[in-house]
Amino acid sequence: MDALLSLLACPVTGETGLTFEGDPSGEGLIRSPGGRAWPVIGGVPRMLPPDLLAPFLRAHFPDFATRHPDVARWLTDAPEAEPAVLETLLDYSFQHVDLADSAPLVDDWRATWDRFQPGLPPEAFAGEVVLEVGCGEGRHAWLVSQHARTLVGLDLSRGVEVARRRDPRPNAFYVQGDLRRPPFRPGAFDAFYSNGVLHHTPDPRGSFDSAARLVRAGGRAALWVYGLDEMRWSYRLSHLTFLRPLTNRLPRPAQMALASGLTAAVEVGLWAPARALERVGLSTLAARVPYHDAAHRDWTYKQRRMFDRLNPPITHYLTREALLEWLRGWAGVQVINADGQGWSARGVKP
């Protein structure tokens, strides 16, 4: 916990010098000098800003504030949260599926890492103090924490609980928080990376700047985000952007029904044929079937993945030019078309 405390700052005031009391792998409190107390539940510091922490505790841990009046006290005047961010925190269904899916799929995780971060293996972070911005259920953090000196995974969602359970390494820490009001000291990290996250925030550029502030001068950033222009047709189609104006207006049961129907169509049209090709020894061909990576996942996973494609609370698509602009003034800037499936962008902070 001491290694983490030295990186933390209060997400409200930016104060450092936070302290911890309690059981580091169970329940406790992180206190900031100004008197705020943040829950640690299941070994995970919950350092969400008050507008998000108050509804989160009410929805998921209603007893915590009763047992810890110091937390309840400073949360009483919490402002209203932005609805789409609150929905990302409480309802983004992919996270709920991942919560249930705790089978380690290391080969799968490595394959997605290589797709998102071509030419930048997890080993490249050896010996560094690294932040993953939006670690979800920790599939990539698990790969990087084998090499980093310290790995911190930050995410808005309860995915951090899965990440913590999967990765008990003593140099790995998982923190629930909002990357736009992050609970870390500016310049605390040697590097940050982020896979598939910034485009799900209200202002991706502002989110990038927020994460960039956490890296020291000479430190590195590596991110993967959605694109549309210059991408493969199958990737563009998979985002179902043409259906969103309709699906955004449908009631939730109709959204679920549509997700089920489309999942059944992809099952028949792509996943079943991909599995059949594998059975007859044509695995290389099967790997070329679009979205074959989900062919062996269960129905709930596939249906939820489809649901989130149809109804994400927030989605932006970035262009090469926008990413070059984000990284203007950084050294060694690269914006790579990641195999026609999104953009990888990197640079060294001036």
Ligand X SMILES: C[S@@+](CC[C@H](N)C(=O)[O-])C[C@H]1O[C@@H](n2cnc3c(N)ncnc32)[C@H](O)[C@@H]1O
Contacts to ligand X by CB under 6 A: 88, 95, 134-136, 139-140, 154-157, 159, 178-180, 195-197, 200-201
Q: What minimum distance in Å lies between the beta carbon of 108 and ligand X?
A: 11
Q: What minimum distance in Å lies between the beta carbon of 312 and ligand X?
A: 9
Q: What minimum distance in Å lies between the beta carbon of 138 and ligand X?
A: 8
Of 122 and 134, which has the nearer Cβ to ligand X? 134
Q: Look up residue 132 and give its amino acid.
A: E
User: Residue 8 has which token pair?
Assistant: 């933390």
> Using CA atoms, how far apart are residues 329 and 325, in angstroms rounded to an integer?
9
> Using CA atoms, how far apart are residues 158 and 155, in angstroms rounded to an integer?
8
Of 154 and 318, which has the nearer Cβ to ligand X? 154
> Got the DSSP string for 187-246?
T-EEEEEEES-GGGSS-HHHHHHHHHTTEEEEEEEEEEE-B-TTS-HHHHHHTTGGGHHH
Query: Residue 320: how many CA atoms within 13 Å on its side-chain side?
Result: 10
Are 152 and 7 spatial neighbours (Cβ–Cβ below 8 Å)?
yes
Q: What minimum distance in Å lies between the beta carbon of 157 and ligand X?
A: 4
Of 298 and 321, which has the nearer Cβ to ligand X? 298
Q: What minimum distance in Å lies between the beta carbon of 134 and ligand X?
A: 4
Q: What minimum distance in Å lies between the beta carbon of 162 and ligand X?
A: 10
User: Residue 180 has which token pair?
Assistant: 């736009």
Of 81 and 286, which has the nearer Cβ to ligand X? 81
User: Residue 174 has which token pair?
Assistant: 């998982």
Of 231 and 277, which has the nearer Cβ to ligand X? 231
Of 72 and 314, which has the nearer Cβ to ligand X? 314
Of 155 and 190, which has the nearer Cβ to ligand X? 155
Q: What minimum distance in Å lies between the beta carbon of 136 and ligand X?
A: 3
- Long-range own/partner contacts, residues 55-58 (CB < 8 A, 24 or more apart): 55/81, 55/86, 55/89, 55/90, 56/89, 56/90
Of 32 and 201, which has the nearer Cβ to ligand X? 201
Secondary structure of 114-180 in the HEC alphabet? HHHCCCCCHHHHCCCEEEEECCCCCHHHHHHCCCCCEEEEEECCCHHHHHHHHCCCCCEEEEECCCC
Q: What minimum distance in Å lies between the beta carbon of 156 and ligand X?
A: 4
Counted residue by residue, the chain has a size of 350
Q: Identify the helix (H) or strand (E) that includes residue 73.
A: helix 69-75
